Structure formats: structure tokens, C-alpha cells
Amino acid sequence: MTTIANHSRRQLAVLTLAAGALALGLSTAGFAQSARPAEVKLGIALSLTGNNAESGRDSKRGIELALEEMNRAGRFKTTKVNLVEADDASDSNRAVTAVQRLASEGVIGIVGGTVSNAVRAALPMAQRSKVPFVIVNAFTPGLTDVGDMVFQVSQPTGAFNKAAVALAVKKNKPTKAALLWAQDNPTTVGFRDDFIEALKANNIALVVDEPMKALDSDFTAQLRKAMNAGADLLLPNFNSAQNAAVIKQAHSLGYKPKTMGHVGDMSNSFTSAGGKEVIGHVANSAFFPGGSSAPLKAFLTAFQGKYNIPATGPAALGYQAMRLTGEAMARMLDAGQAATADNLRVALGNLGSQPSVMGSSGTASFVNRILQYDGFTLILDENLRWQEWK
């Protein structure tokens, strides 16, 4: 009888332990379900006032459209993503302060950047604060060197410049190039390095390499030097209005080489300043509304429908940055991970190939935290409309 009683007690203990384990399992499952946050804060730091406010506002429109689409699709399930806004006004000091404030308000990431100088100043603060910063609109090379918290959607244009120069060699067969550039603008300094590398790769001699100031307006002496050197390819490398002025001044001297610029020339300010003088000018861009990829076409339609204005490059970059950041956040939350800045950093790095409105292929992926996609080489036609140059 004692043995039977002891056996019954042991069975009861086992059953009690099993029931406890089951209850603990159910409790843990319930905790994982309830651990999904009701709210996640994401910072956006853009130039919403100042000289670059138009680009900053367009990027914000793209960000808001992407978030709206992901919410409509239920991508974040029960979690609400709240955007916390900061205006850097394209000022380096304000850009640092913006990142500081956003980090203090508990954002798990920042999508931002409208101009390179402000972005470059802000990135060290993001790295020190351990908050991922997804760069929207700054094309300067080396920005991701700041650290593992920095991701760049606006791919540096070096590869695009190389492709454009290679195509110019094939079509126009230039042999000598003249490069006029602004030495006090970090973006144009980066473009200069890209162009020099592209010229070397295509065996084009750089016969004139003239550093100037960002606000210079008289290029006569430099253009005469290029003309006398026999440069048949002219590379003006300033802001878009200055690039147009360089071409017009060259023509007024009777100097009419083939011309090639950069992504900034794809703006109304370039064609407005240049008029018919800039017909045939070549530029390169990661964004082109005439592209044929399905993600790009869907974005253009949605943007026009929401805002009743055509999408621009900064709008597309904002949209792309938010789609990638949002997808990383959604995957992190779906995996039951805590909504932390470091978990978001890891999720961004593990995204793999994603649909893209940037580039011609319709897909893009982060490689060493820089988004990789194919660019477009474009030429201005007689109606001052950009066409893909193939």
C-alpha cells in the first residue's frame, strides 16, 4: 500500500510539473504576443526650410507615401509607426542638433539628409548615439565610412559617371577633356574624382583641370584654355545653373565641344538657365521618370495621385529610403525582436534584394550599407526633355 501511495504521489508530482511547464509555455507565448510594441518612433531629418527646402519637402512626401502604402497593406500589423520630424535647414550645426534631439526622443532610426554638407556633419552624432541613419539625398562618396549605423540610399554617382563617359566614348569618340569644377563644394569635389577615374578608364586625356569657386560666374579664361588645348569634351562641375552658364559662355566664344554634367543638371534650373544652348548635354541619374520598371511606374502613379504633382528624384529617394527602413522594421517586429536601434541596424543589413524605384532594373540591395542599382545615362533633346541615351 505504501509503494502504491508513493507511486501515486510521484505520478502526481510529474503531472504537476508538466502542467506547470505547459502553463509557463502558454504564458511565454502570450508574453511574446503582447511584447509587440503598440508604437515605434522613426525620425526624419530633412531640409524643410532654407535653400534646399523644395528637395527636402519632396523627400518628405515620398517618405509619407511609402509609410501610407505599408500601413494600408498591414505590413506593421498592430504596431503604429510615428514619424518624428526635424528640420536641418541644410545647416551643419542644425543637422547635428536635429540628430541629437531625435535620438533623445527615442527614435529607433532616422531617415534623412537633403544635402551633403549637413549629412556629413550629422552622421558622427548618429553613430555616437547608436541610431541607424538612412541617408536619403546626399551623393558624396565615403559617407558610410563613419560607422556601422550609416546606410546610404543615394548611391554615390561614380559608377554612373563611368557609364556615361563610356557611352560618350562609344558614340562621340572624344579624345581630350576639360574639367571645370567647384573646389569648395564637397559634392562637386567627389564628382571630380569620379570623372577623373572615368576618363582614365576610357583613355581620354584630361588636358584642362581647373579648380574654381562655387559662386564664380566668369569662366572665360578657363574656357579659352580648354579651347586652345583642343578639348572636345567639356565637363562643367558646379551647381546646375552654373553648369548651364559654362556651356553658354563656351558657345559665345565659338567653342562647341560635347558636354557632360552630373545628376544635379536634371533640374528645371539647368534647362531654364541654359535654354537651347544646352541641347545635347549629357547627364546621369539614378532616377528617371521615363524608366520602365514596374516599381517605378507604380510609384510615379501613386505620387501623382496623392499630391497632384510629378515625382522628383528627391521624392523617389525619400520613398525608397522609407520602403527599405519600413521593411526592415516589419521583419524585426515579425521575428518578435525588441524594437531597438541595434536590431533595426541588423535588419537593414540583412534585407537582401528589394523592389526599387531607383535605377533601371527595378531591384536594389545594400552592399556594405550602400544601396546598389543601375543608373541612367540621359541626353537633352531639342525640346529640352531628357531622354535615355543608349
Domain ranges of the chain: 39-155+291-374, 158-285
* pLDDT one-digit tens code per residue, 116-148: 899 999 999 999 999 999 999 988 888 999 999
Cα 125 to Cα 138, 243, 247, 257, 374, distances in angstroms: 17, 34, 40, 45, 31
- Higher-confidence residue: 15 or 292? 292
Closest CA to 312 of 373, 279, 270, 358: 358
| Other CB atoms within 10 A of residue 322 CB | 29
Q: Look at residue 16 in the predicted model and tell me its pLDDT.
A: 46
**pLDDT tier at 33 (50, 70, 90 boundaries)?**
very low
Q: Look at residue 20 in the predicted model and tell me its pLDDT.
A: 47
CA distance 278 to 239: 15
Q: Look at residue 12 in the predicted model and tell me its pLDDT.
A: 41
Q: Look at residue 162 in the predicted model and tell me its pLDDT.
A: 81
Q: At the topology level of CATH, where does 158-285 sit?
A: Rossmann fold (3.40.50)
Q: Do domains 39-155+291-374 and 158-285 have the same CATH topology?
A: yes
Q: At the topology level of CATH, where does 39-155+291-374 sit?
A: Rossmann fold (3.40.50)
Closest CA to 76 of 85, 84, 67: 67
Decide: 332 and 343 in contact? Cβ < 8 Å: yes
Q: DSSP assignment, residue 267?
A: S
Residue 132 backbone dihedrals phi, psi, to 5 degrees: -60, 135
Decide: 263 and 286 in contact? Cβ < 8 Å: yes
**pLDDT surpassing 80 at residue 4:** no
**pLDDT tier at 81 (50, 70, 90 boundaries)?**
very high
Cα 301 to Cα 59, 71, 228, distances in angstroms: 16, 18, 49
Cell 576610357 belongs to residue: 202
377 - beta bridge partners?
A: 284
Q: Look at residue 11 in the predicted model and tell me its pLDDT.
A: 52
